Amino acid sequence: ETAELMPLPISIAHALTAKSAEVRANQAAKGEKPLLLPDAKSQVSVEYDETGKPVRINTIVLSHQHVETLNLETVKAMVKSEIIDPVLAKYQQYVDGDPILHINPTGKFVIGGPQGDTGVTGRKIIVDTYGGLAPHGGGAFSGKDPTKVDRSAAYAARHVAKNIVAAGLADRCEVQLAYAIGVAEPVAINIDTFGTHTVDPLEITRRVREAYDLTPQGIIDHLGLLGGFKYLQTAKNGHFGNESFPWEKIHGGDHLK
């Protein structure tokens, strides 16, 4: 659905929050005091056709923290003109008419960040991944070192799925890995191509088992998860879809052919 091989809704949602950060950084670079503050949350609803293809952006929700002196109408105008409109310009093929916009639908949003959400952890696991368009094992990523398969195996599943698509074995792919405590090898590997495979799915699974060491240590070594990677980068705009992350790398697919 997108160049970064992510579902369209979550890609647009991440683009909105990234644009928000860019707007604030540009204002700071000019010596201006940003009127929009760091805490922001986005959600995008996209209509799909009967074949599963995205066709139209239906609704955008963007809640943005702001200084107390701004009234709601000013916040709405700023968010629309400086954040939403520039992002939608990049996704024009999915804009048919005016999408429904909900900007700060609860009204004033002045208290944000840890002050507004203190005492919680392990949240946002869906926005960290695919925005609800793929199953999630349930464990949070942040705060865990890569020996924990909650984190490293999710990265590995993403990496394997991308390389299956890159190898031309399928147009769409979901990789599920299951582990048992004290057992290094995955107890199950399930690959779903949603009927888009060019090679029998059982053969794809066999090739994956042969090509990848999916033990925790094997994943750590293959993806370099203890090799100086700065995990702080994953705290913004999701863990998937950023081409600079090692699990996003495509190796040409020859090892799966």
The DSSP-derived string for 93-107 is: GG--SPPEEEESTTS
pTM of the model: 0.90
What is the rounded radius of gyration, in angstroms, for the C-alpha atoms of the chain? 20
The confidence score (pLDDT) of residue 120 equals 66
pLDDT digits (tens, 9 = 90+) for 20-43: 999 999 999 999 998 999 999 999
Ranges under pLDDT 70 in the chain:
119-120, 253
Q: In the numeric block, which tokens belong to residue 250?
A: 């495509």
Domain range annotation of the chain: 8-117, 149-256
DSSP string of 62-85?
Answer: EEEEE-TTS-HHHHHHHHIIIIIH
The confidence score (pLDDT) of residue 86 equals 98
CA atoms within 13 A on the CB side of 28: 9
Query: Measured between alpha carbons, how far is 104 from 120 in angstroms, rounded to an integer?
Result: 22
Query: Measured between alpha carbons, how far is 126 from 141 in angstroms, rounded to an integer?
Result: 11
Is 3.30.300.10 the CATH number for 149-256? yes
The confidence score (pLDDT) of residue 245 equals 97
The confidence score (pLDDT) of residue 115 equals 83
Q: Do domains 8-117 and 149-256 have the same CATH topology?
A: yes
Is 3.30.2130.10 the CATH number for 8-117? no
To 5 degrees, how large is the angle CA 207–CA 169–CA 177?
Answer: 55
Torsion sign (Cα): 212, 11, 55, 100: positive
Distance from first CA to last CA of the chain, Å, rounded?
Answer: 24
At residue 138, what is the residue type? G
At residue 120, what is the residue type? V
Query: Measured between alpha carbons, how far is 87 from 129 in angstroms, rounded to an integer?
Result: 20
